Amino acid sequence: MSFFAILCALLIEQVRPLAHHNPVYGGVLAWTRWTSRNFDAGKSHHGWVAWILAVFVPTLLVLGIHWLLVLTLGLPFAVVWSAAVLYVTLGFRQFSHHFTGIRDALDVGDEALARSLLAEWQRVDAVNLPRSEIVRHVIEHSVIAAHRHVFGVLAWFSVLAALGLGPAGAVFYRMSEFVSRYWAHKDQASFQPSSIWVQLAAERAWAVIDWLPARITALGFAVVGSFEDAIDCWRNDASRFPNENDGVILAATSGAVNVRLGGGALRTVAVLDPLSRAEAGESVASARTSSGGSTPGREPEPAHLRSVVGLVWRSVVMWMVLLALLTLARLLG
């Protein structure tokens, strides 16, 4: 039944995307702030206590509702609940408007607008970026966003749903990703900054949680793109990126569509509000920056943006077909 929940969530999200500032997002933000404010006491074990509470309480709440629906109303209502949870946690429309705006600006030759939109999206100084670097950064940010908003959620949801845990995997993955971003940026807040211990706990947990999904995403890109080039770039160039998991995805993307990724970092613009900084996405700070040079490939150009869109959608279709076949096998078996 996971296939039907995912399909419904993706279709609804395309027709009616979730508003950026919605009650669910506000509740998650308030909960994350409360856990760090009350349990971040500046010692190493406090960091793990805050992380466990911030991530596992929402996960267990969603799981409890799923089991309650299964036991009382039946499986169809549980599937509806899963689709509702996926609608909140999964979807392209949570970030694709940034990509579309920059792509459209480049298509009409308005590089100044493209730089402005990129700077607004990622809270960076993009005023002096040449055209090829604008494209490179957009590709890197968008691919990592697609992984964290779609493919990573699909991976954790599918695995835990197969074990009877309903949509708990989707919430677990997104909460882990969110707290790692929010606490990393909140350390520079003027009021109650997060301690190094909660940051380390969230960062280490996130690295473990995203290890397998990152490689599943990279494998999907390789299968639907240029397989040999993607695997070769994955093996030889993933280490060029400082974040291991994001580096695997970006290296595979580079080989799959034959585009040069990696290179110099953009300077982050100081933003006092940690929420605004977190909304930009920690992925840009860690994934787009290459300390070991660039990957092989052609110079980034606007045509590569369309290639990346095709790569992502073909990967979605591939995984949906696989889930459909698994669902059919279970129904027939």
Residue 281: the pLDDT is 52
Q: How far apart are CA 206 and CA 173, in angstroms?
A: 9
Domain extent, residue 311, equals 2-332
| pLDDT band at 189; cut points 50, 70, 90 | low
pLDDT digits (tens, 9 = 90+) for 29-59: 999 999 988 888 878 888 899 999 999 999 9
Q: How far apart are CA 221 and CA 122, in angstroms?
A: 24
Mean pLDDT of 264-285: 51
Q: State how many domains the chain has.
A: 1
Mean pLDDT of 186-193: 60
pLDDT > 90? residue 69: yes
Residue 286: the pLDDT is 42
Residue 292 φ then ψ, to 5°: -120, 30
| pLDDT band at 256; cut points 50, 70, 90 | very high
What tokens appear for 109 in the block?
């030759």
What tokens appear for 306 in the block?
């369309």
Residue 179: the pLDDT is 94
| pLDDT band at 292; cut points 50, 70, 90 | low
pLDDT > 50? residue 190: no
pLDDT > 60? residue 169: yes
| pLDDT band at 274; cut points 50, 70, 90 | very low
Length of the chain: 333
Q: How far apart are CA 151 and CA 316, in angstroms?
A: 8
The pLDDT > 70 percentage for the chain reads 89
Q: How far apart are CA 289 and CA 83, in angstroms?
A: 35
Residue 287: the pLDDT is 39
Burial of 127 (0-12, 13-18, 19+ CB in 10 A): exposed
Provide the mean pLDDT of the chain: 87
> H helices of the chain, where?
2-15, 23-39, 44-72, 75-89, 96-107, 111-122, 131-146, 152-162, 168-186, 196-209, 211-224, 227-237, 244-257, 274-280, 282-287, 302-332
pLDDT digits (tens, 9 = 90+) for 110-149: 999 999 999 888 888 888 889 999 999 999 999 999 999 9
| pLDDT band at 267; cut points 50, 70, 90 | low
Q: How far apart are CA 278 and CA 99, in angstroms?
A: 18
Residue 51: the pLDDT is 95
HSE value, Cβ hemisphere, 13 Å, CA-based, for 98: 27
Which of helix, strand or coil describes residue 20?
coil
Under a CB-based contact definition with an 8 Å cutoff, are residues 252 and 312 in contact? no
Residue 268: the pLDDT is 59
pLDDT > 90? residue 63: yes
Burial of 9 (0-12, 13-18, 19+ CB in 10 A): buried
Residue 192: the pLDDT is 64
